[in-house]
Amino acid sequence: MSSKNTQQTIRALFLDLSGVLYEGDTLVEGAVDAVKRFRERDLILRFVTNTATKSTAQILEKLRGMGIPLEDDELFTAPIAARALIRKKGWRPYCLVHKQIRSDFQDDDIENPTCVVVGDAREDLTYGSLNKAFRLIKNGAPLIGIGYNRCFKGEEGLMLDAGAFIHALEWAAETEAIITGKPSQAFFEEIIASAGVAPAECMMVGDDAESDVAAAMEAGLQGTQVRTGKFSEGDERKLPEDAQIIDSIADLME
């Protein structure tokens, strides 16, 4: 870690979930003890994820079931941010999202959609559904992306994430998506505001060099890359010089 980061006080930790605290349904070794250690040091904690295949309630249940206690308002997800934006604007969404989070949007009026929401919809990301989204966007509907990650690590290995499909729609429809999760600076600003401290006093810990660490540092936070999750050799070259690299969450602030 650079001397710049070493000298800067850390008052808040933003922890990515998949790849940092757990991989699939398996805890990263030492993750629970690490979170307990952070709380003992009175650090402000935020659990941050672009996960768009589980509802808020399911994510909270999973973390607590793994032994990681947290308050509801400590969890920040990209789908929550997308829903808040839609309701603030009064838009009616055409949703290409995973079946597990459709309930998060079911209260929204989806007749005659005026915006398009794209997340990790898996098998529902068909040519037909993407083409419908494309036509809506060409006719003026804003495109909202739940995160912008290229890929994630699933049980079968690396898998395409929503970012690949969002980028395709952007290119085809000649538009720019509104991203409601990482690496959006607005998303990081919302989390920083909830913590009530300066950006430089916050540290983002993630397994994605671009969307987690580099994007957070661009927003003024400190950044730490873990060598778990989807990290692969060579990702170091995507990081700013001031980024910290550790083997796993268990090594943070030891």
CATH number, domain containing residue 34: 3.40.50.1000
* Residue 80 resides in a domain: no
Residues 6 or more apart whose CB falls under 8 angstroms from that of 61 comprise none
Interstrand relation of 93-96 and 44-49 (parallel, antiparallel or unpaired): unpaired
- Token pair of 181 as six digits: 């999760």
**φ, ψ for residue 188 (rounded to 5)?**
-65, -40
The C-alpha atoms of residue 184 and residue 145 are separated, in whole angstroms, by 10
* Residue 115 resides in a domain: yes
- Token pair of 242 as six digits: 């001031």
Same domain, 192 and 173: no
* Residue 117 resides in a domain: yes
pLDDT of residue 189: 93
* Residue 66 resides in a domain: no
172 by Cβ neighbours in 10 Å (0-12 / 13-18 / 19+) ranks as middle
From first to last of its 254 residues, the chain has per-residue pLDDT tens of 333 444 479 999 999 999 999 998 999 999 999 999 999 999 999 999 998 888 889 999 999 999 999 999 999 999 989 998 999 999 999 999 998 888 777 766 677 899 999 999 989 999 999 999 999 999 999 999 998 888 887 777 888 888 999 999 999 999 999 999 999 999 999 999 999 999 999 999 999 999 999 999 999 999 999 999 999 998 999 999 999 999 999 999 86
Is there a contact between 98 and 53 (Cβ–Cβ < 8 Å)?
yes
Q: State the pTM of this model.
A: 0.83
Domain coverage including residue 247: 3-50+184-251
Residues 6 or more apart whose CB falls under 8 angstroms from that of 157 comprise none
Same domain, 150 and 196: no
- Of the candidates 169, 134, 147, 156, the residue with the CA atom closest to the CA atom of residue 101: 147
Same domain, 167 and 132: yes
* Residue 75 resides in a domain: no
The residues facing 22 across adjacent strands are 18, 27
Q: What is the DSSP letter of 197?
A: S
Same domain, 148 and 168: yes
The C-alpha atoms of residue 182 and residue 17 are separated, in whole angstroms, by 13
Interstrand relation of 244-246 and 178-179 (parallel, antiparallel or unpaired): unpaired
Residues 6 or more apart whose CB falls under 8 angstroms from that of 184 comprise 148, 215
* Residue 71 resides in a domain: no
pLDDT of residue 109: 64
The C-alpha atoms of residue 29 and residue 31 are separated, in whole angstroms, by 6
Interstrand relation of 178-179 and 143-145 (parallel, antiparallel or unpaired): parallel
Domains held by the chain: number: 2
Distances, alpha carbon 251 to alpha carbons 10, 42, 191, in Å: 16, 18, 24
If DSSP codes are grouped into helix, strand and coil, which group holds residue 240? coil
Is there a contact between 67 and 32 (Cβ–Cβ < 8 Å)?
yes
205: amino acid identity, one letter: V
pLDDT of residue 107: 66
- The reply to whether omega before 93 is within 30° of 0 (cis) is no
Q: What is the DSSP letter of 200?
A: G
Domain final residue pick, 152, 179, 206: 179
Same domain, 101 and 155: yes
Other Cβ atoms closer than 10 A to 23: 17
